[in-house]
Amino acid sequence: MDNMVVAMMLGASLFLGSIALIAFLWAVKSGQFDDEEKFLNAVKFDNEDDLNDAIKQEKKREDLKKKNYKPE
Amino acid sequence: MTLSNKIPCSHCHLEFTQDVMIKDEDHYFCCNGCQGVFHLLSDEGLDSFYEKSHGVTLTPPTQQYEDSLNFNAPAFYDKFVKINDEGFSEVSLIIEGIHCSACVWLNEKALHKMDGVIEASINFTNNKAHIIWVDEVLKLSQIIDMIRAIGYNAYPYDASLQEAHANKVRKDYYLRMAVAIFSSMNVMWIAVAQYAGYFSGITQEMKTILNIAEGVLATPVLFYSGWVFFRGAYFGIKNKVVNMDLLVATGALLTYIYSIYITLLEHGEAYFDSVSMIITFVLIGKFLEVLSKKNAADTLDIIGKHLPSEVNIVRDEKIVPCKLEEVSIGATVVVSSGEKVLLDGYIVKGEGSFDESNLTGESEPIYKVVGDSVTSGTTSIDADIHFKTTKDFEHSTLSNLVTLLESAINKKPKIEQLANRLSEHFSTTILVLSFLTFISWWLWPHSFETSLMVGISVIVIACPCALGLATPVATLVGLNLGAKRGILFKEAAQLEIMAKADVLLVDKTGTLTVGKPEVFKETIIKEFDYKLLYSLVKSSKHPISKGIQKYLLENREFSEEIIFDLLTQVPARGIKASYKDFEVLGGNLKYMQENQVGVDYVSNKTMFYFAVDGELVCVYEMHDKIKNGAIELVESLKNRAIETIMLTGDNEKSAMSVADEIGIEKIYFELTPEEKLEYVNKLHTQNKVVVMVGDGINDILALAKADIGIVMGSGSDIAVDVSDVVLLNDSLESLLGAFKISKTTFSLIKQNFAISLVYNAITIPLAMAGLVIPLVAALSMSFSSLLVVGNSMRIRYKWNRS
What's the gap between Cα B256 and its chain centre?
A: 39
Sign of CA dihedral B412, B414, B415, B418: positive
State the best of B163, B167, B168, B171 to mutate against chain A, taking most chain A CBs within 10 Å.
B171
Do A29 and B171 count as a contact with CB atoms less than 8 A apart?
Answer: yes
Q: Is the pLDDT of residue B166 over 80?
A: no
State how far the Cα of B435 lies from the Cα of B242, in Å rounded to an integer: 15
Q: Is the pLDDT of residue B669 over 60?
A: yes
B/e letters for B429-443, b = 16+ CB within 10 Å, e = fewer, are ebbebbeebbeebbe
Listed residue (B647, B635, B701) closest to B674, CA to CA = B701
CA-CA distances (angstroms) from residue B182 to A14, A26, B236, B710? 10, 15, 29, 41
State the best of A13, A18, A39 to mutate against chain B, taking most chain B CBs within 10 Å.
A18
State how far the Cα of B424 lies from the Cα of B446, in Å rounded to an integer: 31
Same domain? For A54 and A21 the reply is no
Same domain? For A48 and A23 the reply is no
H/E run at residue B395: none
Of B167, B203, B209, nearest to A10 by CB-CB distance is B209
Contacts of B56 (CB under 8 A, 6+ apart): B13, B99, B100, B102, B103, B238
Listed residue (B171, B130, B170) closest to B154, CA to CA = B130
Position B639 scores a pLDDT of 87
State how far the Cα of B756 lies from the Cα of B470, in Å rounded to an integer: 8
Do A28 and B175 count as a contact with CB atoms less than 8 A apart?
Answer: yes
State how far the Cα of B40 lies from the Cα of B148, in Å rounded to an integer: 12
Highest mean pLDDT among B216-225, B343-352, B734-743, B775-784: B216-225
State how far the Cα of B195 lies from the Cα of B5, in Å rounded to an integer: 50
Q: How many domains does chain A have?
A: 2
Q: Write out pLDDT tens, residues B394-415.
A: 777 777 766 776 666 666 666 6
pTM score, whole prediction: 0.61
Chain B partners within 8 Å of A22 (Cβ) = none
Position B219 scores a pLDDT of 93
Same domain? For A2 and A22 the reply is yes
Q: Is the pLDDT of residue B665 over 90?
A: no
State how far the Cα of B241 lies from the Cα of A46, in Å rounded to an integer: 53
Q: Is the pLDDT of residue A44 over 60?
A: no
Contact B548, B520 (CB under 8 A): no
Q: Could you state, in order of their start, the residue ranges of all structural domains in chain B?
A: 1-62, 64-157, 166-294+416-473+746-801, 308-341+343-395, 487-513+627-744
Q: Write out pLDDT tens, residues B678-727.
A: 888 888 888 888 898 887 667 777 888 888 888 887 766 667 777 788 88
Q: Write out pLDDT tens, residues B192-248.
A: 888 888 888 888 888 889 999 999 999 999 999 999 889 888 888 887 777 778 888
Chain A partners within 8 Å of B202 (Cβ) = none
State how far the Cα of B555 lies from the Cα of B188, in Å rounded to an integer: 69
Q: Write out pLDDT tens, residues B600-627.
A: 777 767 788 888 888 888 888 877 778 8
Position B251 scores a pLDDT of 81
Q: What is the mean pLDDT of residues B433-445?
A: 87
Listed residue (B569, B514, B579) closest to B545, CA to CA = B569
B/e letters for B523-534, b = 16+ CB within 10 Å, e = fewer, are eeeeebbebbbb
Helices (H), B4-92: 32-43, 48-53, 74-80
Q: How many helices (H) and strands (E) does chain A have?
A: 3, 0
Do B217 and A21 count as a contact with CB atoms less than 8 A apart?
Answer: no
Chain B partners within 8 Å of A2 (Cβ) = 206
For helices B774-801 and B272-291, angle between their N-to-C axes, nearest 10 degrees: 30
Q: Is the pLDDT of residue B57 over 90?
A: no
Chain A partners within 8 Å of B206 (Cβ) = 2-3, 6
What's the complex ipTM? 0.78
Contact B571, B351 (CB under 8 A): yes
Contact B704, B722 (CB under 8 A): yes
Contact B761, B752 (CB under 8 A): no
- B58 against B647, higher pLDDT: B647
State how far the Cα of B254 lies from the Cα of B248, in Å rounded to an integer: 10
- B728 against B256, higher pLDDT: B256
Length of chain A: 72
State how far the Cα of B480 lies from the Cα of B496, in Å rounded to an integer: 15
How is residue B56 annotated by DSSP? -
B296 touches chain A (CB under 8 A): no
Contact B701, B404 (CB under 8 A): yes
Residues 172-231 of B with CB under 8 A from A: 174-175, 178-179, 182, 186, 190, 203, 205-206, 209-210, 213, 216-217
State how far the Cα of B463 lies from the Cα of B204, in Å rounded to an integer: 28
Chain A partners within 8 Å of B217 (Cβ) = 14
- B3 against B360, higher pLDDT: B360
Largest Cα–Cα distance in chain A? Answer: 68
Contacts of B696 (CB under 8 A, 6+ apart): B357, B358, B359, B361, B507, B509, B510, B715, B716, B719
Q: What is the mean pLDDT of chain B?
A: 78
What's the gap between Cα B290 and its chain centre?
A: 13
Q: What angle do CA B290, B291, B296 make, to 5 degrees?
A: 75
Tell me the helix, strand and coil percentages in chain A, rounded to 5: 85, 0, 15
Position B759 scores a pLDDT of 83
State the best of A2, A8, A16, A21 to mutate against chain B, taking most chain B CBs within 10 Å.
A21
Q: Write out pLDDT tens, residues B70-116.
A: 677 666 677 677 777 667 778 878 777 777 667 777 777 777 777 77
Q: Is the pLDDT of residue B646 over 70?
A: yes
Residue B32: pLDDT band (50, 70, 90) is confident
Position A23 scores a pLDDT of 93
Same domain? For A10 and A43 the reply is no
Same domain? For A26 and A6 the reply is yes
Residue B642: pLDDT band (50, 70, 90) is confident
Same domain? For A66 and A52 the reply is yes
Same domain? For A46 and A13 the reply is no
Residue B302: pLDDT band (50, 70, 90) is very low
- Just give the CATH number of B308-341+343-395: 2.70.150.10
Q: Write out pLDDT tens, residues B327-336.
A: 888 888 888 7
How is residue B699 annotated by DSSP? G
B26 is annotated as an active-site residue: no
Residue B463: pLDDT band (50, 70, 90) is low
Listed residue (B478, B472, B433, B503) closest to B760, CA to CA = B433
Same domain? For A66 and A40 the reply is yes
Same domain? For A19 and A42 the reply is no
Of A17, A28, A34, nearest to B178 by CB-CB distance is A28
Listed residue (B393, B384, B312, B397) closest to B348, CA to CA = B384
Contact B91, B120 (CB under 8 A): no
Same domain? For A39 and A25 the reply is no
Contact B718, B302 (CB under 8 A): yes
Q: Is the pLDDT of residue B303 over 60?
A: no
Same domain? For A41 and A18 the reply is no
Position B165 scores a pLDDT of 67
Contact B392, B327 (CB under 8 A): yes
- Just give the CATH number of B487-513+627-744: 3.40.50.1000
Sign of CA dihedral B657, B661, B665, B667: negative
- Just give the CATH number of B64-157: 3.30.70.100
Of the residues B392, B507, B699, B724, only one is catalytic, namely B507
How many other C-beta atoms are found inside a 10 Å radius of the C-beta of residue B188? 16
> Which residues on neighbouring strands pair with residue B315, listed in sequence order?
B318
Helices (H), B411-447: 418-443
Do B178 and A3 count as a contact with CB atoms less than 8 A apart?
Answer: no
DSSP reduced 3-state for B603: coil
Position B23 scores a pLDDT of 77
Contacts of B294 (CB under 8 A, 6+ apart): B490, B491, B724
CA-CA distances (angstroms) from residue B674 to A72, B99, B559, B697? 58, 36, 51, 11
B/e letters for B75-105, b = 16+ CB within 10 Å, e = fewer, are eebeebbbeeeeebbbbbbbbebbebebbbb
Range of the domain at A9: 1-30
How many other C-beta atoms are found inside a 10 Å radius of the C-beta of residue B508? 27
How many other C-beta atoms are found inside a 10 Å radius of the C-beta of residue B366? 18
Q: What is the mean pLDDT of residues B152-181?
A: 76
Same domain? For A40 and A23 the reply is no
